[in-house]
Amino acid sequence: MEHDPRRYRTPLWVDWCPGCGNYGILQAVTETLAELGLPPEKTAIVSGIGCSGKTPHYVYANGVHTLHGRAIPYATGIKLARPELTVIVEGGDGDLLGIGAGHFVALGRRNIDLTVILHNNQVYGLTKGQASPTLPYGVKTKSLPKPNIQDMINPLALAIASGYTFVARSYALDIKHLKSVLKEAIRHRGAAFIDVLQPCVTYNNVYTVHFYRKALYRIEDEEPDWDPIVRSPDEETEKKAAALARAQEWGRRIPLGIFYVNKTRSPFEHRIAARNPLYAEHPPANRLSREPQQQPPYTIEEVMSIFKDRLVKVKTRNARRSGIPSSRDRSPEES
Amino acid sequence: MSMDKPPPPLMALIGGPQGAGLETSAQVLTVAYATLGYRVLASREYHSNIIGRHSYILLGVDPARVPRGHRYPVDVASFMDAESVFTHYKDVDRGSIVFYDSDVDNVSLERIVSMETETKRRLRRELEELGVEPTVVGVTKYMKSMGVEVVGFSYRGLLSSLRREYGIGYAEARRYISMVVAASVAKLTGLSLEELEEGLRYRFRSRPALVERNMAVARRVYSHLGNVAQIALPEPQEPPDHYMVMTGNEAVAIGKAVAGVGLQAYYPITPAQDESFYMEAHEDQTGIVVFQAEDELAAIAVATGAALTGARAATATSGPGFDLMIEGVGWACINEAPVAVTLYQRGGPSTGLPTRGSQEDLLDAAFAGHGECPRIVVASWSHEEALTDAVEAQNLAEEYQIPVIHLLDKFLANSVATLPPPMTTSFQIRRGSIEPRPGSDYRRFALPGPVSPRAFIGDAVMWYTGDEHDEYGHITEEPETRIAMVKKRFAKLDEAARNIPEEGVRLHLYPEDADPSGLDMLIHSWGTAARVTAEAVDMLRRRGLRAALVRVHYFSPYPSRLLSSIAAEAHQAGARLVNVEHNYTAQAAKIAAMKSGVVFDTHVLKYTGRPIYIDELVEALMAIHEKGLKEVHLGHGA
């Protein structure tokens, strides 16, 4: 039963437009959770705002639908406080690369064990089709009054430059491919990023299903020896350069697959544990028990010992003269 | 006005350029006094600058209790440089002692490059009016003529002998000037060399060579001051076995550890950053994860995310950072997520006075954010209360599943006080309603509330959303559910108001036994301003004016009933209703009018970023009493 993907769906009616690429992503996510046998209570899907933001409500696992752009920081808090959880971030292109770009970059620097799925349809769907940060310069989708005058961000290049240690691209309608990449991403220990290209049937009449069918290809089909994995630090520069070069390709031919994997960088959780010896056994979520009423974690002696750098022992002048450590036990008249 | 000197019995001022070791001097002195059993309050005024601009520290020393504020004129002033002499020549008076570098005698005001143009212009004007030559020697002569004892000491002479003796360069030798300053204050207030050494040993714990060299400097200063009269300090009364000498930042950090906080997320900002820094320094012993986020938008989100898993989580910031957090506070509100925000107020708007204090963010803390977002707002007035409120903020956040804003200010954040170690046995951890065995039909927002039993991500399945939601946490726009959920969230405040007493918790009357119907003046205040006001109340009472302080501790849930009954009684008896705050717009008085209908129509306000001093406050309150002034704006302090 645990492996039945239907168990990972909530009974809610899915209110995306018919034909939306999000359906493919949702199906891939629930099937992947099922196939990996991830317990719903130990899994969290964290989203931002926009059409993709509703994804967590359709998945039977913990769902945290956050603020515009902030899915990564909420997910960070969940993961750091309870590292046993599997935490997946789902955000749109405007969410992750526009309003949330700072967080996107910061996650790379930290290499926290999160999986970030970019629902990349190049438009702001829920506000009726404005250009997103991934829409190329000069393109006019149907709801834009004029062609786009901003350049596009290359999500893969940005992820690689930021320090993500797993970087891949897939396609929302190729569920088999997306699932296989997603499984690798979830298994990867560190910050994983998947750029999922996704047609918006309502507002993006340029990057359509028809367009993608012609343009997409898999890297391994063109380069059978493609090996994106950094296994020792000295391979990093070369593999990064190859991934960045491949990531430049956009237009008539668009590559899919795993671009870059670095297994030599430590995940953030290990970095915390290295300097915080209590972290592994007592992560923040387990610092206190579940008892509604309890004693503080420290006695007064422990507080004095932990914060001894602020502790001053009193030696009054009288005590100096008489050898008594303090005047506390004496009456005011005497002191 | 009578001539009674406000407490504390000893006020010392040390001044010098930022980065020259003034904090070391203050720490050495504070610990030396504390070791003897004295209570100390030391606060620092500084520019947004790392090296070179003028800064100074005020130390209040009291045998009986931690000073509730500072006062002018100071009894002892010790200066590192010429700029300090010009800046503080009016902060001393008859009977004060000034110690300074006699090598800068001929330095003129115009030559002080680090001084702000406006300050220079003001001082030039002042000195001209007094007929004082704008040089250090001119100013010291003036001070002498006012009855101040001025003692010069050749810093250059000391430095060159240090360089010879230790074979060190000029820059390294200069560092010992901080010891000159500390030693001069110590000697002039009657500390023996051994007593001073206690402070040095604390400061340079692991470096005995530094203790020895600094003691050599101290001996030179002591012998130079051999014949100068000392200011006598009464013996300390019933000191505890130990003090903890901590800033407000550190008090909150320790409070959070005692409260069982598991994760603190922050972004560096003055004057909040030292709290997180201190927590990080003790991370390996407490296990608290201190996370430096990329901005405050992330800081509150990380903390909130952690809270959803069952961790106690917190963040700390000041005004500009709090502005960025507001959307996150709203998310925590609608998701009933327990998150505590420590907000240290500084001068605004915008970057404003980034290193100076204020009480300008009360309305921001209480009301900021779109939509209607219930929250608890607690404002501490002392270091001790900062610590206990940091614990209580965590308890309230979890008990009511609501964001808690803990308001402090720069004055508390950066000032050092001597406290007894916190009696942790008197604290309790209250986590509120927790669902022991959440099933597969767990509803995080189960109605009617207001507090639904909480389960944590990792133990059950639940949903959260910033949208209005149903009991499961799924999006809904159904009007009936909307009504139920809005009422559920606001009912938390009603419940909190029922459980948290007004008298002595949300509202404090000082003196506790004051009879509101027998008052000449009822003074309303909050936070550090209220603490100075309590001292002023004591002074006014000594002068025969029947004054009392009513201090608001909780701005939400607000102590409406008690405040209005106290104010009504006082008003009926003919008392003047006065309000004291660190801002221009009398924010707490506005909340009082709004929530309890009490109108405090006479105001003492200060918004220079410098603390309210006891002497200027007493003078203002006396003027209000005697002349019926309606508004006094204070401005003392360099």
**Helix runs in B459-597, H state only:** 479-499, 527-542, 560-572, 587-596
Torsions phi, psi of A227, nearest 5? -130, 100
| Facing B244 at nearest CB: one of A292, A296, A310 | A310
> Which residues of chain B neighbour A101 with C-beta distances below 8 Å?
none
Pairing between strand B54-62 and B39-45?
antiparallel
CA-wise closest residue to A193 among A226, A216, A227, A170:
A170
Q: What does the pLDDT look like over B532-559, one tens digit per residue?
A: 999 999 999 999 999 999 999 999 999 9
- Longest CA–CA span in chain A (Å) reads 96
A74–B459: do the CB atoms touch at under 8 Å?
no
pLDDT confidence of residue A335: 31
Distance from CA of B335 to the nearest CA of A (A): 10
Q: Residue B16 in contact with residue B81, Cβ under 8 Å?
A: yes
Q: Which amino acid is at B142?
A: Y
Q: Following DSSP, what letter does each residue of A298-319 receive, concatenated?
A: --HHHHHHHTGGGEEE---HHH
Q: Following DSSP, what letter does each residue of B574-604 receive, concatenated?
A: T-EEEEEESSSS-HHHHHHHHHH-----EEE
| Facing B282 at nearest CB: one of A279, A304, A306 | A306
Residues in a beta bridge with B40: B61
Tell me the Cα Rg of chain A: 26
Residues in a beta bridge with B507: B503, B552
Cα separation, A134 vs B392, in Å, equals 46
Cα separation, B66 vs B447, in Å, equals 48
B34–A297: do the CB atoms touch at under 8 Å?
no
Question: Which helix (DSSP H) or strand (DSSP E) does residue A159 occupy?
Answer: helix A155-162
Cα separation, B622 vs A22, in Å, equals 71
Taking CA atoms, what residue in A is nearest to B203? A309
Q: Residue A44 in contact with residue A92, Cβ under 8 Å?
A: no
Instruction: Give the domains, in start order, of chain B with CATH numbers.
Output: 10-224 (3.40.920.10), 245-426 (3.40.50.970), 433-499 (no CATH), 507-634 (3.40.50.920)
Residue keyed to tokens 């000037």? B177
pLDDT confidence of residue A305: 97
B244–A307: do the CB atoms touch at under 8 Å?
yes
Output the six-digit token pair for A131.
């250009």
A10–B429: do the CB atoms touch at under 8 Å?
no
| Facing A80 at nearest CB: one of B284, B291, B427 | B291
pLDDT confidence of residue A327: 40
B310–A81: do the CB atoms touch at under 8 Å?
yes
Sign of the torsion angle spanned by Cα atoms B275, B278, B284, B290: positive
CA-wise closest residue to B443 among B484, B402, B471:
B471
Cα separation, B568 vs B565, in Å, equals 5
Residues 6+ apart with CB under 8 A from A223: none
Half-sphere exposure of B449 (CA within 13 A, CB side): 30
Mark the ranges of chain B whose per-residue pLDDT is less than 70: 1-3
What does each C-alpha distance from B477 to A47, B462, B469, B474, B587 come to in angstroms? Answer: 20, 19, 8, 10, 36
How many secondary structure helices (H) and strands (E) does chain B include? Answer: 22, 24
Q: Residue B613 in contact with residue B72, Cβ under 8 Å?
A: yes
Question: Which helix (DSSP H) or strand (DSSP E) does residue B547 occupy?
Answer: strand B547-552
A44–B457: do the CB atoms touch at under 8 Å?
yes
Whether residue B240 is preceded by a cis peptide bond, meaning omega within 30 degrees of 0, is no
pLDDT confidence of residue B170: 92
Mark the ranges of chain A whose per-residue pLDDT is less than 70: 1-3, 320-335
Cα separation, B23 vs B21, in Å, equals 5
A278–B287: do the CB atoms touch at under 8 Å?
yes
pLDDT confidence of residue A5: 84
pLDDT confidence of residue A323: 53
CA-wise closest residue to B84 among B61, B112, B49:
B112
Cα separation, A74 vs A89, in Å, equals 9
Taking CA atoms, what residue in A is nearest to B279? A307
| Facing B424 at nearest CB: one of A288, A300, A335 | A300
Task: Please give the sequence-ordered ranges of beta strands (E in DSSP) within A16-120, or none if there are none.
Answer: 43-47, 62-65, 86-92, 115-120
CA-wise closest residue to B378 among B582, B555, B601, B182:
B555
pLDDT confidence of residue A321: 63
pTM recorded for the entire structure: 0.96
| Facing A335 at nearest CB: one of B36, B235, B424 | B235
Pairing between strand B242-247 and B416-419?
antiparallel
Residue keyed to tokens 């240090």? B162
Distance, first Cα to last Cα, chain B: 24
CA-wise closest residue to A332 among B304, B236, B179, B597:
B236
Cα separation, B76 vs B96, in Å, equals 6
pLDDT confidence of residue A330: 36
Instruction: Give the domains, in start order, of chain A with CATH numbers.
Output: 5-273 (3.40.50.970), 291-335 (no CATH)
ipTM confidence score: 0.96
Cα separation, A185 vs A205, in Å, equals 30
